[in-house]
Amino acid sequence: MSKKDEFKDFVRKNPRLINFVRNGDMTWQKFYEIYDIYGDSKDAWKDYLEVATVGAATSTSLLDFFKNIDLDSVQNGVNSIQRVIGVLQDMGGKKEETSEYKPRPIYKSFDD
């Protein structure tokens, strides 16, 4: 297997590298040069591959946060807010009465 094929396999195993190229932070040439010199050494790639693990940890903690939410307390809070809004609307004053629409009779002309 050639060095180029090994690099392609390395990129397939680490698709996060694609984002750096798409964002313009790196080029494939620079990534290949790093791979050519250091291979798949974790020390050489830590700046590019550890970024995603931080994001994965963040998404995991966010998932844990949502798992720990007590839905009953959220529903009670929403109900309380709805009651407060209802009271404020009642205290807001009289509602304007709108006149009811009365269609014109069909046999009437526009002149009258």
* Domain tally, the chain: 1
pLDDT, position 93: 64
Answer yes or no: is 18 within a domain.
yes
What's this model's pTM, rounded to 2 decimal places? 0.45
pLDDT, position 111: 60
Expressed as residue numbers, the domain containing 36 is 3-72
pLDDT, position 101: 78
Residue pLDDT tens, the chain, 112 long: 888 999 999 999 999 999 899 989 899 999 999 999 999 888 889 888 875 444 555 666 777 777 778 888 888 888 999 999 988 888 876 656 667 877 766 766 666 5
Answer yes or no: is 33 within a domain.
yes
pLDDT, position 54: 47
Please report the DSSP string for the chain in residue order: --HHHHHHHHHHH-THHHHHHHTTS--HHHHHHHHHHHTT-HHHHHHHHHHHHHHHHHHHHHHHHHHT--HHHHHHHHHHHHHHHHHHHHHT-PPPPPPPP-PPPTT--TT-
Answer yes or no: is 50 within a domain.
yes
Answer yes or no: is 97 within a domain.
no
Answer yes or no: is 101 within a domain.
no
